[in-house]
Amino acid sequence: MIDFRYHVVSLVSVFLALAVGIVLGAGPLNEGISTGITDQVRQLTEEKEQLRAERDEALAAGEAQDAWAEAVAPAVVERQLGGRAVVVVELPGADSSQTDAVVDVLRSAGATVPARVTVQDDWTAEAQQAEREALAAELAPQLAGGAAVADATPHVVLATALASGLVTGDLAQTVVADPARADLLTALTDAGLVEVEGQVEQRATLALLVTGAADPDASDDRAELDAAAWEALADQLDDLSAGAVVAGPTESAEARAAVAVVRSGDEVAEQVSTVDDLDTAMGRVNVVLALREQLAGRSGHYGTAPSATSVSPPLPAAAP
């Protein structure tokens, strides 16, 4: 049985240990701990200031590079697309201000933009799938390709219908009074799938698809619908024209977004060009050069994302 003396000894031991701890903590140990903490705080502060300075330098360098690209862009793109008609198709999630900016650069390059098309959310909305299937079945017999188109998925049929109404691969003739083509666009517009602005009687020879980031709230099923739809649309616009480019900001090259979808495709990645820095002056120049490259039968994937194969297409030869 534990007696009273044991309790006294235990209490004395506890108080002695506490006293020794206080003495040591207020003396040599405190000095060492305080010095260590002070050194760590000073080191972290210096690292933070260094990182902040590096960030500011990187931002300043980026702004300077963008200003330089803005300044030289007119000279670089001048006459690169002279006489060519480019239809601009804006996908859901695209930034309209980026579309406006690239249209200005296209015109500086000598191109005309006869029509701008805005693809609506219903193009891939899960709730509208039955309506899209019915419309695809209605339009398929009106499209070139016969049984191959009739057996295709609704996304491919609708993409073919839109491309047929907007573009042509005939570089010699783009103004075509074709009621059948107009009817295709009317059907897509009446179904709430697209909005069309401009002169649709003039079919373009080149196509630019402007996109943005993928919808972060989209379900897996909706993401799959989007991927299939954008790949089909890029493929058909390229197939029925002299060339197509898909362009967007850096986020468009991330998973599920349209640029990433095209780059990860098998056949479409070899035919359709992409640009992932449309939100910069350099990216808008890249769009012009990529369209020019498409006219020559070549393609590539340009920008600053890891999936890009090059920062930009080959620059045009300097004038003598």
Supply the pLDDT for residue 111. Answer: 94
Supply the pLDDT for residue 319. Answer: 47
Supply the pLDDT for residue 320. Answer: 43
CB atoms within 10 A of CB 108: 20
Average pLDDT across each block of 10 residues of the chain; the chain has 320 residues. List them in order.
62 66 58 71 80 73 66 77 93 96 94 95 93 93 69 90 90 63 91 91 91 91 92 95 96 95 93 96 94 95 95 72
Q: What is the DSSP letter of 202?
A: B
3-state secondary structure at position 127: helix
CB atoms within 10 A of CB 224: 13
Measured CA to CA in angstroms, residue 50 lies from 41, 61, 62, 296 at distances of: 14, 16, 18, 48
Supply the pLDDT for residue 146. Answer: 54
SS3 content of the chain, % helix, strand, coil (to 5): 60, 10, 30
pTM, two decimals, is 0.79
